[in-house]
Amino acid sequence: MKKIKPKELIDGCLELVGEILFEFIFLAIGAVIIILLSAIGINIDTDSMDGEMVSVIGFFALIVILFLVAFAVIAIKKLKSGSQNTKSPKKATKYINKKGKSMYRIGIDLGGTNIAAAIVNEEFKIVKKKSVPTGAERETKYIMDDMAELCRSVCAEAGISFEEIDAIGIASPGVANHTDGVIEYANNLPFRRFEICRELGERLGLNNIHVENDANAAAWGEAIAGAARGTRNSVMITLGTGVGGGVIIDGKVFSGFNYAGAELGHVVIERDGRPCSCGRRGCWEAYSSATALIKMTSEKLAECEESGRHTLMTEIAREKGKVSGVTAFKAHALGDEAAREVIDTYIGYLATGLVNMINIFQPEVLSIGGGISGEGRKLIDMMIDQIKSEQYGTDFVENTRVVIAELGNDAGIIGAAFLGI
């Protein structure tokens, strides 16, 4: 709910009354015109009118005057409000609770290794964040007990009463049924058709609890408070261990009729290509995730070693003790030719997938998050030409803005906190 100041409420009421009065008088003046035209049409002699008729005409004349005054007042008010409206359409919306007080929400990031909970204020800023081990090998009741205790303890450490918490949102891996508050399935977690919102609500005495897939929650976070704020249609791609994705259509999270939609990393971009963890071959994830980039880099290093070709990637990997998602990028920045070959291949696949997303959804903004997004604007500059050349209708319609996500690892937890608004 949007926060409304008393003055804004009074002004709004006065304007509403004025507009109603305006419409009423407008109808009345129309009736007067009809009467006068009728009088002229049947040649009524106004000089012979009695006192009662004159009074009636005087009454309608008064209405005409009121009509003009009301019109002038409303016109002036509209002009003043229009000239003073300098608020940015991208400014974060504030929310208050039912008691009219500033409120807080809790966002929960439920992972296979850790559960993180954060208090988020009305400006979409994290006030306090805390995490505990998930202990995914345990029964669900113990995991839920820890989750509830985590919510209480993060409030206590922030000096906030739990009574000030208006809602809780959970970002979960797998298939999250946000309508029923159920995790249908989550890999690496013991949740199967589990009523997580009811379970947590019973432990905390709170009914306003929501759940959503973690990638969808991250996309929602960017839509309300990050790179896509102020838009109604956006897509977020996360380049990490896999390729995650979330889609916002007309201001709402899209997840399909069965809540399993928007698995964007599992569209095939090369038939019978590299094997993917989902069981298919040639998935975008198998070519554009950080895991895929590490594999491409390792293959190039082996090729260089076998042929005796020098590459700076060898020294960079040795210095860090491993090949990572930034090994090739660092060597490429230093002018290494073998690294350029790796990056060119990776960028080609990444851009191909991004164009597919743009051509399907035509979002206002497509944001890129995850570890690889740490390359920043340089990453986008490397592929923007391919995106523009392959995007459908690029010369005839407004183009999607491709940007780096702004909220980093907090996107999911902020998005989760504001589920259901």
For residue 2, name the pLDDT band (cuts at 50, 70, 90): very low
Q: Average pLDDT over the chain, rounded to whole?
A: 85
CA 264 – CA 262 distance, rounded (Å): 5
Q: Can you give the pLDDT at residue 145? A: 98
How many beta carbons lie within 10 A of that of residue 72, not counting itself? Answer: 10
Other CB atoms within 10 Å distance of the CB of residue 194: 22
- The tokens 């004349």 sit on which residue? 61
pLDDT at 233 over 90: yes
pLDDT tens figures, 300-322: 999 999 999 999 999 999 999 99
pTM, rounded to two decimals? 0.75
* pLDDT at residue number 188: 84
* Crossing angle (nearest 10°) for helices 312-320 and 290-307: 120
What are the φ and ψ backbone dihedral angles of 236, each rounded to 5 degrees?
-120, 135
Q: Tell me which residue has tokens 């946000």.
A: 178
Residue 393's pLDDT band (cuts 50, 70, 90)? confident
pLDDT for 51 beyond 60: no
Helix (H, G, I), strand (E, B) or coil at 218: helix
Could you report the per-residue pLDDT of 64-111, keeping only the tens digit for each? 666 666 555 555 554 444 333 333 333 334 444 445 556 899 999 999
pLDDT for the residue numbered 102:
65
DSSP one-letter code for 200: H
Measured between alpha carbons, how far is 130 from 161 in angstroms, rounded to an integer? 16
pLDDT at 294: 97
d(CA 220, CA 227): 11
Q: What CATH number should be reported for the domain whose range is 234-405?
A: 3.30.420.40
pLDDT in tens, 320-373: 999 999 999 999 999 999 999 999 999 999 999 999 999 999 999 999 999 999
The confidence band for 376, taking pLDDT boundaries of 50, 70 and 90, is very high
pLDDT computed for residue 268 by the predictor: 97
Rounded distance between C-alpha atoms, residue 337 and residue 304, angstroms? 11
Domain 104-226 has CATH 3.40.50.2300: no
Indicate whether 250 pLDDT > 90: yes
